[in-house]
């Protein structure tokens, strides 16, 4: 059994791949990991993006198994290994159950669930073989409270992510591979803006800590869960919601 002891939250010498890296959370996580000493490869669906100083960017559609192989084979060939995988690619849908279409269900599942399956199916066995890996997926408070402003497809997809991460945590633990989920409440990003066009409810009425989250709140929690600071934590789902959800 491979064991890793806890230590300071630095990522010196580690190689991290981030999906959805051009989004608000992915970008903040990429930069925080870079500052903590990691080599960071941020990926997203756009052909090009400027993520931050010292962060590499590559185009990658998480729904494609072929692109998954191409990306991860290339990263491993160039950098030797992948220590950290953060799964931030995601889309939201708000339709009610009765209004939701097959297309909406398919696209939500393709990006939010298959987009976790594809890169982990490739990397999880490699990480197990190398005796170390940290996998962190963006879940959501929606998987716990039935959704803040999202529809059933998103809630179902994020619930699947939380479940799959628990499976990986259990299967990976004897091999030194960690898997955790972030369960953010509303975070002020493009995604949140897209669902609150008519105006968000006042944060001090809905969030115990009195404000919505920002990308840096998420990045610092991600750094904790992907660094040696959390080497006795796996299979957890970290509520990061200003107190909106507590368990």
Ligand X SMILES: NC(=O)c1ccc[n+]([C@@H]2O[C@H](COP(=O)([O-])OP(=O)(O)OC[C@H]3O[C@@H](n4cnc5c(N)ncnc54)[C@H](O)[C@@H]3O)[C@@H](O)[C@H]2O)c1
- Stretch binding ligand X (CB under 6 A), from 29-37, 83-91, 95-103, 197-205: 83-91
Distance CA 166, CA 130 (A): 20
- State the catalytic residue, choosing from 57, 154, 178, 212: 154
Residue 112 and residue 71: Cα distance in Å, rounded? 18
Pairwise CA distance, residues 212 & 160, whole Å:
25
Contact call for residue 192 and ligand X (CB under 6 A): yes
Does position 90 bind ligand X by CB under 6 A? yes
**Can you tell me the distance from the alpha carbon of 42 to that of 185, in angstroms, rounded to the nearest whole number?**
23
Stretch that binds ligand X, among 128-136, 172-180, 185-193, 219-227 (CB under 6 A): 185-193
Q: Residue 238, Cβ neighbours under 10 Å: how many?
A: 19
Q: Does 89 bind ligand X (CB under 6 A)?
A: yes
Q: Does 151 bind ligand X (CB under 6 A)?
A: no
Tokens 């799959």 -> residue:
164
Q: Is 143 in the site for ligand X (CB under 6 A)?
A: no
Q: Where do the H-state alpha helices sit in 36-151?
A: 65-79, 102-108, 115-130, 142-145
CB-closest chain residue to ligand X = 23
187 binds ligand X (CB under 6 A): yes
> Strand, helix or coil at 59?
strand
Q: How far apart are CA 162 and CA 142, in angstroms?
A: 11
Stretch that binds ligand X, among 85-93, 98-106, 124-132, 231-239 (CB under 6 A): 85-93
Among 15, 24, 136, 165, binds ligand X (CB under 6 A): 24
Site of interaction with ligand X (CB under 6 A): 19-20, 22-26, 44-45, 61-63, 88-91, 111, 115, 138, 140, 184, 186-187, 189-192
């Amino acid at each position: 059994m491979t064991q890793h002891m806890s230590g300071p939250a630095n990522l010196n010498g580690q190689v991290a791949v981030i999906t959805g890296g051009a989004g608000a959370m992915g970008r903040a996580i990429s930069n925080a990991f870079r500052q903590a000493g990691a080599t960071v490869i941020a990926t997203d669906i756009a052909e090009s993006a400027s993520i931050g100083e010292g962060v590499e960017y590559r185009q990658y559609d998480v729904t494609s198994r072929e692109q998954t192989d191409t990306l991860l084979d290339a990263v491993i060939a160039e950098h030797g290994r992948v220590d950290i995988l953060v799964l931030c690619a995601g889309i939201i849908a708000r339709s009610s159950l009765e209004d939701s279409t097959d297309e909406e269900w398919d696209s939500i599942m393709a990006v939010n669930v298959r987009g976790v399956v594809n890169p982990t199916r490739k990397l999880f066995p490699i990480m197990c073989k190398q005796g170390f890996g940290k996998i962190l997926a963006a879940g959501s408070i929606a998987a716990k409270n039935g959704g803040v402003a999202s529809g059933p497809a998103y809630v179902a997809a994020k619930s699947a992510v939380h479940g799959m991460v628990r499976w990986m945590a259990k299967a990976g633990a004897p091999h030194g591979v960690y898997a955790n989920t972030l369960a953010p409440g509303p975070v002020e990003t493009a995604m949140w803006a897209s669902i609150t066009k008519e105006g968000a409810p006042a944060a001090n009425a809905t969030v115990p800590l009195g404000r919505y989250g920002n990308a840096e709140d998420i990045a610092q929690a991600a750094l904790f869960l992907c660094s040696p600071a959390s080497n006795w934590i796996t299979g957890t789902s970290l509520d990061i919601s200003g107190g909106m959800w507590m368990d």
